Amino acid sequence: MKISIVLGTRPEIIKMSPVIRELENQGLDYFILHTGQHYSYNLDKIFFEDLELPEAKYNLDVGSGSHAEETGKMLIGIEKVLKEEKPDIVLVEGDTNTVVAGALAASKLHIKVGHVEAGLRSYDRTMPEEINRVLADHVSDYLFAPTEKARGNLLMEGIDENKIFVTGNTIVDAVYQNLEIAKRKVNSLKKLNLNPGGYFLMTAHRQENVDIKERLKGVLEGLELVYRKFNFPIIYPIHPRTMKRLKEFGLDVSKGIRLIEPLGFLEFLQLEANAKLVLTDSGGVQEETCILKVPCVTLRDNTERPETLEVGSNVLAGVNQNKILEGVKIMLSKERNWKNPFGDGNAGERIIKIVEEI
Ligand code: UD1
Ligand code: UDP
């Protein structure tokens, strides 16, 4: 059996790492096909280094562009490699343009497709990721749903129950596998002159937030209110998309917000684990804060991770400054005793076992 791992962005590298580790441990025949959707050192290579992953056998170097440009180039490049390599199954992870291209190219060649992190739904089709999720799920042969809720979403869309496997989310594996390694290898608090519990951490990069001036302004105003109220520095490793928009829109950040370059996984994980609270519009960060028992305020109006709202690790605040401040107050008053709904940290192993059995 030959397995192809198709990935292309920061979260896919992180969340596929437990699957790749398992393939390595078992000595299975596989190769990594990187689309090159992310290519900057600190969105790409740093994660291969931090997570000690083998280099990709192929890199399509598609780079950035419109959705059609990115996806179109990827489809052409992926098809070519798959025709040569003839894998038995292609595994994709998540909801990016890379995922939809990998799943579609493989399924048209009648190669089996396994979708890791299947069944997530925000029910908001203005998000490019929601369209990618639905398309990838419906062309996949094996759907690795992280939770029962994700399985339920798939069943509601008429997907055959025999194709669905509830495995837990591989992000739990990645967090558990790397927290101790982070302690040994990096000291991001010292580097940034921070004390445990003495700062807020922030990320925002969603197209529907940062590409719209009024929404991005709302987020920045919210952060300023939060800083004025609590006086904790807000550490913001800023995604290049957001940096570009800040300059384009001529927006300033208040003095309490410390913009820094995006971090590697080990440093970021350490900052997350020791933060007083995290503000984010990231999917993965909503999950990680829940696993790490750090309160989270999500700068969105909906989430495809409703499990975090149910267990009480997260609230939705949108991009209105008063709602953001309110969200922070609510989350700071909560006890951090919620349960992690995303699994036991053995999702990677489970997924590969299922792939081998089928
Ligand atoms: C993509 C995913 C999003 C995911 C995010 C993870 C889609 C539709 N979006 O969004 O779901 O949450 O990755 O971070 O697939 N850029 C660089 N260097 C890079 C890559 C991008 O500077 O290595 C800049 C470019 O200006 C580019 C912009 O970021 O135009 C957006 O990149 P793109 O890959 O299109 O989307 P992301 O916002 O990264
Ligand atoms: N992350 C990181 N460095 C950073 C910001 C985020 O390593 O500076 C990690 C974070 O721990 C999480 C993942 O990137 O695992 C989330 O990726 P992102 O927010 O880009 O995408 P999303 O999860 O929203 O698709």
> Which top CATH class is 180-332?
alpha beta
**pLDDT for position 109:** 98
Tokens of 90: 């292609």
Q: Active-site residue numbers?
A: 205
231 φ/ψ sector (left φ>0, alpha ψ -120 to 50, else beta): left
User: Has residue 45 got a pLDDT over 90?
Assistant: yes
- Exposure of 342 in the CB half-sphere (CA atoms within 13 A): 32
Q: How far apart are the CA of 126 and the centre of ligand 1, in A?
A: 17
Confidence of residue 358 (pLDDT cuts 50, 70, 90): confident
In tens, the pLDDT along 51-95 reads 999 999 999 999 999 999 999 999 999 999 999 999 999 999 999
pLDDT tens across 328-340, in order? Answer: 999 999 999 999 9
Residues with CB under 6 A from ligand 1: 9-11, 37-40, 43-44, 64, 70, 95-97, 128-129, 205, 240-241, 244
Q: Whose CA is nearest to atom 5 of ligand 1?
A: 9
Q: Do domains 2-169+343-357 and 180-332 have the same CATH topology?
A: yes
How much is the average pLDDT of 116-126?
98
Q: Distance from first CA to last CA of the chain, Å, rounded?
A: 10
Domain spanning 2-169+343-357 has what CATH number? 3.40.50.2000
86-108 residue pLDDT tens: 999 999 999 999 999 999 999 99
Strand partners, 234: 200, 257
Q: Are 7 and 34 in contact (CB under 8 A)?
A: yes
pTM listed for this prediction: 0.98
- Ligand 2 mutation pick, 282, 300, 314, max ligand atoms within 8 A of CB: 282
Cα(194) to ligand 2 centroid in Å equals 20
For residue 255, what pLDDT band results from cuts at 50, 70 and 90? confident
Residue keyed to tokens 């343009």 = 97
User: What percentage of the chain has pLDDT greater than the value 90?
Assistant: 99
Which residue ranges make up each domain of the chain? 2-169+343-357, 180-332
At position 190, the amino acid (one-letter code) is K
At residue 260, φ and ψ (nearest 5 deg) are: -135, 165
CA of 163 to the centre of ligand 1 (A): 30
SS (HEC) of the chain: CEEEEEECCHHHHHHHHHHHHHHHHHCCEEEEEECCCCCCHHHCHHHHHHCCCCCCCEECCCCCCCHHHHHHHHHHHHHHHHHHHCCCEEEEECCCHHHHHHHHHHHHCCCEEEEECCCCCCCCCCCHHHHHHHHHHHHCCEEEECCHHHHHHHHHCCCCHHHEEECCCHHHHHHHHHHHHHHHHCCHHHHHCCCCCCCEEEECCCHHHHCCHHHHHHHHHHHHHHHHHHCCCEEEECCHHHHHHHHHHCCCCCCCEEEECCCCHHHHHHHHHHCCEEEECCHHHHHHHHHHCCCEEECCCCCCCHHHHHHCCEEECCCCHHHHHHHHHHHHCCCCCCCCCCCCCCHHHHHHHHHHHC
CA atoms within 13 A on the CB side of 76: 8
Ligand 2 centroid to Cα of residue 120, in Å, is: 17
Q: What is the pLDDT of residue 196?
A: 98
Express each pLDDT in 293-317 by its tens digit: 999 999 999 999 999 999 999 999 9
Q: What is the mean pLDDT of the chain?
A: 98
Pocket test for ligand 2, best of 48, 258, 268, 298 (most atoms within 8 A of CB): 268
Mutate to test the pocket of ligand 1, among 10, 40, 59, 64 (most ligand atoms within 8 A of CB): 64
Ligand 2 neighbours by CB, cut-off 6 Å: 10-11, 14, 203, 205, 237, 262-263, 265, 268-269, 282-285, 288
Model pLDDT for residues 179-232, shown as the tens digit of each residue: 999 999 999 999 999 999 999 999 999 999 999 999 999 999 999 999 999 999
- The pLDDT of residue 319 is above 90: yes
